[in-house]
Structure 1
Amino acid sequence: MPYLARILLYPIKSLDPMEVTEATILPTGALRHDREFGIFDAEEKFVNGKRSPRVHGLTAAFHPTTGELRIAIRSTGESRCFQWPDDCAAMDAWLSDYFDQPVSLRRDAGGGFPDDKNALGPTVISTATLEEVASWFPGLSVESARVRFRANLEIGGVPPFWEDQLFGDPETIVPFQIGDVLFHGINPCQRCVVPPRDPQTGEAIPEFSQTFRERREATLPAWANRARFNHFYRLAINTRAPESETGKTIRIDDSIRL
């Protein structure tokens, strides 16, 4: 039976994951503390891996109960610990110095800063899918694939690409439950320039996107709606959670039902 094997939150958009045993649904359908913080430049644009490779040089940890943010530079080991919101000015100054441009760290505890504004719920993938994708690239570990694709919820007990059942025709939803929480599957997630890069060094795997597209098409399961793939650089499922699910909690080992 499919079950929830892992929950990963990304408190600071584009930075390190935080593995938890349970997560609460916000009114927007997002998971509490996921993409809760974002780094913005002077033009009000995200400073992320798509626009600034220097993001890969940072590591970060957030402690929700204390509001403590610890950020470090991988290459030098230099680290700073900040208290939110008391140390906002000092934090922005430190980050601006690192990125060599004015930036600011902002917080939206009510819904975070998701990539897909049409599907604000958690992204879903299976462990077997990550294992399959990792096997396409010599030397790529499952853990590295996990961080590259940055899904929130990982499903165990299923074959590769089982999650491709969680979307249907355009403008339709596929209801499914994790524990007693209802979600709506929306569409397969379009990937960007980030997955080819090593999360820690930024070094890219040559021809990653082309190889991925070819293997994804060749392994597309019979249960996937092929019409939703205008290209095959898609992995994991975008979701929504109805407003009725606000405040409910999903937990590791919860069963998953279509």
Structure 2
Amino acid sequence: MSNFNNNPYLAHIFIYPIKSLDGIWIPQSTILDSGALTYDRQWAIFDDNDRFVNGKRNNKIYQLRTSFNTQVTQVFLQVEGSKEKIEFNLQTERKEIEVFLSDFLGFSVHLKENKITGFPDDTNASGPTIISTATIEAIANWFPNIEFAEIRRRLRANLEINGVPAFWEDQLFANQNQWVNFRIGQINFQGINPCQRCIVPTKNSQTGEVTNNFQSQFITKRKDTLPPWVNPSQFNHFYRVSVNTKIVDSALDKVLKVGDKIEIIGVG
């Protein structure tokens, strides 16, 4: 899968239109003025107490399969194991989607939309998350019973880099209160910190079943395999992988494309 030619390039772009549900691969993406990818986490599910309904708190979320049309105007919802796939319009059938989700989850939920920033996990680093293909492969090797594609689904990164060794992306952050400037295609980024993982990667992405000892095994292997370019000051613990980013200046209407070259500029 990986091609180590020391010539990093953008190999894949993934967006997750409804936060916590399945992602989709896209060949290119425009950038919102906030720095987020268009349509990424644009919608999110909330309960009546205005709390996110996600895989951290609700295992039934993992049993929902979602797909979208090319324009991301239609969503297709399907319960894992069912042959029935139901289509909804994300703008005109919001109430119908809420009824479907409420019936499935067993409590009242609401689907909210934010076209400006989406619903990022880290509001201080609201750009796309970055990981390398080789990193996903390395982590899959730590867990012989988990396939590469499943590790990719669990980590839910937006941008995947090829042409580099595992954990190359750890060069994209510096000390706390510093950042690394880099460019993908025509778009300038700042690498902020290694992403702190939650309980989600410990669970099967399609069933919610917990993988025993996933977090402890991950921490041990991550610590043991830290490459020399890693800045340890950002690791208060080793349950971290992928890089949180910000967009440096307005990238509105600029396009990020698969195949774009990646260049590290320096520490800011």
Is the Cα contact below 8 Å between 2:35 and 2:250 reproduced in 1? no
Is 1:56 aligned to residue 62 of structure 2?
Answer: yes
Q: CA RMSD in A?
A: 1.0
Q: Name stretches of at least 5 consecutive residues in structure 2 with no aligned partner.
A: 1-6
Judge conservation of contact 1:7–1:20 (CA < 8 Å) in 2.
yes
Q: Extract unaligned runs of 5+ from structure 1.
A: none
Q: CA deviation at 1:66?
A: 6.3
Match of 2:144 among 112, 118, 138: 138
Q: 1:161 aligns with which of 167, 178, 182?
A: 167
Question: 1:54-89 deviations in whole A, cap 9, x for unaligned?
Answer: 000101122252611111101333332111221111
Partners of 2:18 and 2:43 within 8 A in 1 = yes
Partners of 2:39 and 2:72 within 8 A in 1: no
Equivalences for residues 112-191 of structure 1 within 5 A: 112-191=118-197
Matched, 1:91 2:76: no
Q: For the residues of structure 2 that align with 1:109 and 1:244, how far apart are their CA atoms?
A: 16
In 2, are the aligned partners of 1:28 and 1:243 still within 8 Å (CA)? no
Q: Deviations over 1:154-203 (max 9, x none)?
A: 00000000000000011111000001110000000000001011111111
Distance 1:244 1:32 in 2: 14
Taking the aligned partners of 1:153 and 1:90, their CA distance within structure 2 comes to 32
Residue 198 (structure 1) aligned to one of 192, 200, 204: 204
* Sequence identity (%): 45
For 2:206, the aligned partner's letter is Q
Aligned residues: 258
Alpha-carbon spacing, 1:170–1:102, altered in 2? closer, same or farther (3 Å): same
- Residue matched to 1:26: 32
Once residues 227 and 188 of structure 1 are traced to their aligned partners in structure 2, the CA distance between those partners, rounded to angstroms, is: 11
Is the aligned partner of 1:243 residue 2:214? no
In structure 2, how many angstroms separate the alpha carbons of the residues matched to 1:165 and 1:108?
A: 32
Q: Does 1:3 align with 2:9?
A: yes
Moved beyond 4 Å, runs of 4+: none
TM-score by length of 2: 0.94
Deviation by residue 1:106-135 (Cα, 9 ceiling, x = unmatched)? 111222100001100000000000000000
